[in-house]
Chains A and B, each alone.
Chain A
């Protein structure tokens, strides 16, 4: 039994609601009817049941996926590739909370949007019953009915002064089926390519030769030039004064407090090249510099305290000077800590 699709256009909600009542009286189920409009009229205007919604599982699923991504970023990557920075643990709570918040928000929004597309079967790739005057404010009513009923429906439409009546064989409107699968497959393939391109770059499979003349730019020169001198009346805040070229005086005794401070400062300033134990283990930057000693403790053992102090302050070979990052007292704390590494 071939079904027919009918579309009538009506002026306003009142008429449409009347028509729906009468069509329903002809034995047409609510699911066989569809109201189309250019304004979101709620279903109860037409005494119809609102559409079933499937947002919650998608939003929750998205949120869970977001939490998983956040877990990966804050836990997994930091455990696989730990980077020691002073003062913070490997998994501090406040930054973790921020990443969780952003990722859960992002993926729950993506979930809601995906759900919106899927519930509506968007994008619609096959022909559907429609009339362009619906976006001009007329209310369309689509009815699916067998031939006998369809004729009665048409007479109901006419009785209510439908502005337009369309009538077509329902077989002309095919379900989306394989086309939809192909579409989403193409979208997925596109996404995969978008992920692959940065990977090709990060693994240096694709190399882009860039022009770079940063070495001879203005500011590098300016930075190596003189800075403003400290005002004459300034006094050192803490510890002995370091004067370039002269040995520093009065080292701090290697008390527990000094060693503790030294360890923290070492973690901030030194560990990224030398490793937390001076053995380059976990030294994420240092592993690209083969000239860094495998054992900092052994190297330090052949230097005097004052030489160590001077190396930290002024730098040596490719090691940068840290005079501006550390006060003299803090430098001594690090010297004390480095001494302990050799033992």
Chain B
């Protein structure tokens, strides 16, 4: 800290009011709200960077555990490549099983990241500030893991490059009239767009890390920060480019999961061929995605001790967000279900009979996880601000949404128009290993990432704190925000 000779202090040295009653209110507000609890950036920078370098025994144990599972995943995949998809439980009717369910699931949890960052940014919601990057990181790695599944799922992966629209000696081009190609385009666009969006917001934090580290870290951060100095012109352009990317990426985000749903609904398969599938999938993706963000927030807060940045108010806001999405998901699922039920078509009846028959345990587990628990608990602020409760709810929503995808993909496929093609699907060991291993892989990537990249967008927190103050109204002190744009 430098010696201060100035009369007016910086924004983090705002004096308390003289009146004791008001001062207590201000202190209470600082305890509650991150935006009011401004501390010297020097201190917070050190906090952020110090936590990034902490790798205790438990960290390494987690790395080892996840690493072993990841290794198992790649081994299983290698065996599957050599032996062919025959070693999986996939068969002619259920040719899309957990692999495609995983694709949908991982894109789903990647969904909320950009939504929280881009949409809440455009709407100027302050609660996004400390959690935006944690959410974006899920998008990045969720999409990266999801992108593995089409590759895992196809038989001859060494022919993969024929998927890309590049010239080749066979004079064959990907057929743009195929829903799979639309989806590939959407995912590619989203992955590139999300990476750019995330990187742009990272530049000032890389500069922060560059200024306060030494050795190789300083060199790497220096290269990544591109020479950022935080000049007024640079900030102005950063704001504008973030807004442009936000506006473009939100419709792309919708197109991604709609594209995923079209992979299914373009086929004339009972249970899939439904116009509501696009928005239904988008809501489902946001639902599991927001739950995933809550889980990650809890883990980051606990393991990296970021209690200063991620407070009750943030869990509360995310809990409300999750509750809204619960209601939206119920609405879409019910609309889809009742249309099929009322239509009374033989094939759709057969699928519904199977969901409530042989697959009933999974079906009711899904309803329990996705409806009963969130709807029964999230209305309470005490639940929303309790980390253990939110952790359990987050896990349950993940389970419920994963089961939902499996039921849609494998469940619907096992019943079709030709009754002699009815089969029941049971996963074999490769699917189980690959699914569990990919989750571990995602966790591993995330853990390692948090040790190299500031997972809290500190400049966004500082911006919020610099622009927020308290104001006296009557006998109360309330927080006010300065709108500068």
> Which residues of A come within 8 Å of B, CB atoms?
9-12, 14-15, 34-43, 45-46, 48, 50-51, 53, 55, 59, 73-74, 77-78, 80-81, 83, 85, 88, 92, 95-96, 98-99, 101-103, 105-106, 108-110, 112-113, 115-117, 119-120, 122-125, 128, 130, 132-138, 140, 142, 160-161, 163-164, 195, 198-199, 201-204, 208, 210-214, 217-223, 227-231, 234, 284, 324
| Nearest B residue to A130, CB-CB | B229
Cα A193 to Cα B208 with chains together (Å): 33
Please state if A116 and B185 are interface contacts (CB–CB under 8 Å).
no
- A-B contact list, 5 entries, CB within 8 Å: A35-B231, A42-B485, A74-B176, A137-B462, A202-B169
Given the interface pairs A55-B240, A125-B227, A136-B40, the reply to whether A217 lies near B87 with Cβ below 8 Å is yes
| Nearest B residue to A217, CB-CB | B86
Cα A222 to Cα B428 with chains together (Å): 15
Chain B, 151-198, CB within 8 A of any chain A CB: 155-156, 158, 161-162, 164-173, 175-177, 181-182, 185-186, 188-189, 192-193, 196
B224 to chain A, nearest CB (A): 9
Contact of A81 among B12, B158, B171, B423 (CB under 8 A): B171
Contact of A128 among B229, B244, B420 (CB under 8 A): B229
Given the interface pairs A11-B8, A116-B237, the reply to whether A78 lies near B230 with Cβ below 8 Å is no
Chain A contacts of B459 at CB under 8 A?
38-40
A96 to chain B, nearest CB (A): 7
Determine, out of B245-253, B285-293, B335-343, the stretch whose residues face the partner at the interface: B245-253
Please state if B167 and A199 are interface contacts (CB–CB under 8 Å).
yes
| Nearest A residue to B259, CB-CB | A98
Given contacts A74-B176, A105-B248, A202-B161, 12 further A-B contacts (CB under 8 A): A41-B235, A42-B485, A78-B176, A102-B255, A116-B237, A124-B226, A135-B207, A135-B230, A136-B40, A218-B86, A219-B85, A230-B418
Please state if A135 and B192 are interface contacts (CB–CB under 8 Å).
no
Cα A134 to Cα B229 with chains together (Å): 8
Number of A-B contacts (CB under 8 A): 280
Chain A contacts of B86 at CB under 8 A?
214, 217-222
Please state if A109 and B249 are interface contacts (CB–CB under 8 Å).
yes
Chain A contacts of B231 at CB under 8 A?
34-36, 142
Chain B contacts of A119 at CB under 8 A?
233, 237
**B41 interfacial contact with A, CB 8 Å:** yes
**B212 interfacial contact with A, CB 8 Å:** yes
A82 to chain B, nearest CB (A): 10
Cα A10 to Cα B228 with chains together (Å): 19
Given the interface pairs A105-B248, A137-B42, A218-B87, the reply to whether A110 lies near B192 with Cβ below 8 Å is yes
Given the interface pairs A12-B9, A85-B175, the reply to whether A202 lies near B167 with Cβ below 8 Å is yes
Residue interface bits B408-424, CB-to-A below 8 A is 1, else 0: 00000000001111110
Please state if A227 and B82 are interface contacts (CB–CB under 8 Å).
no
Please state if B166 and A202 are interface contacts (CB–CB under 8 Å).
yes
Residue interface bits B59-98, CB-to-A below 8 A is 1, else 0: 0000000000000000000000011111110111000000
Count of residues in B whose CB is under 8 Å from the partner chain: 94
Cα A6 to Cα B164 with chains together (Å): 53
Contact of B233 among A120, A135, A136, A198 (CB under 8 A): A120
Contact of A106 among B9, B91, B167, B188 (CB under 8 A): B188
Given the interface pairs A14-B8, A38-B208, A92-B177, the reply to whether A163 lies near B2 with Cβ below 8 Å is yes
A282 to chain B, nearest CB (A): 11
Please state if A53 and B200 are interface contacts (CB–CB under 8 Å).
no
Please state if B232 and A11 are interface contacts (CB–CB under 8 Å).
no
Please state if A83 and B230 are interface contacts (CB–CB under 8 Å).
no
Contact of A208 among B158, B169, B189 (CB under 8 A): B158
Cα A14 to Cα B13 with chains together (Å): 14
| Nearest B residue to A106, CB-CB | B189
Please state if A213 and B83 are interface contacts (CB–CB under 8 Å).
yes
Please state if B84 and A213 are interface contacts (CB–CB under 8 Å).
yes
**B236 interfacial contact with A, CB 8 Å:** yes
Among B166, B181, B211, B419, which residue has the most Cβ atoms of chain A within 10 A?
Answer: B211
**B435 interfacial contact with A, CB 8 Å:** no
Chain A contacts of B252 at CB under 8 A?
102, 105-106
| Nearest B residue to A87, CB-CB | B177
Cα A116 to Cα B236 with chains together (Å): 10
Contact of A15 among B2, B6, B185 (CB under 8 A): B6
Given the interface pairs A112-B245, A137-B40, A203-B169, the reply to whether A36 lies near B176 with Cβ below 8 Å is no
Chain B, 1-24, CB within 8 A of any chain A CB: 2-6, 8-12
Please state if B235 and A37 are interface contacts (CB–CB under 8 Å).
yes
| Nearest B residue to A226, CB-CB | B420
Please state if B41 and A38 are interface contacts (CB–CB under 8 Å).
yes
Cα A92 to Cα B259 with chains together (Å): 17
Given the interface pairs A219-B91, A228-B420, the reply to whether A116 lies near B200 with Cβ below 8 Å is yes
Chain B contacts of A222 at CB under 8 A?
86, 91
Chain B, 268-286, CB within 8 A of any chain A CB: none
Contact of A53 among B158, B167, B212, B237 (CB under 8 A): B237
Cα A126 to Cα B212 with chains together (Å): 20
B7 to chain A, nearest CB (A): 8
Please state if B5 and A96 are interface contacts (CB–CB under 8 Å).
no
| Nearest A residue to B169, CB-CB | A203
Given the interface pairs A110-B192, A213-B84, the reply to whether A124 lies near B204 with Cβ below 8 Å is no
Chain A contacts of B119 at CB under 8 A?
none
Chain A contacts of B212 at CB under 8 A?
132, 135
| Nearest A residue to B89, CB-CB | A219
Cα A198 to Cα B158 with chains together (Å): 11
Please state if B176 and A96 are interface contacts (CB–CB under 8 Å).
yes
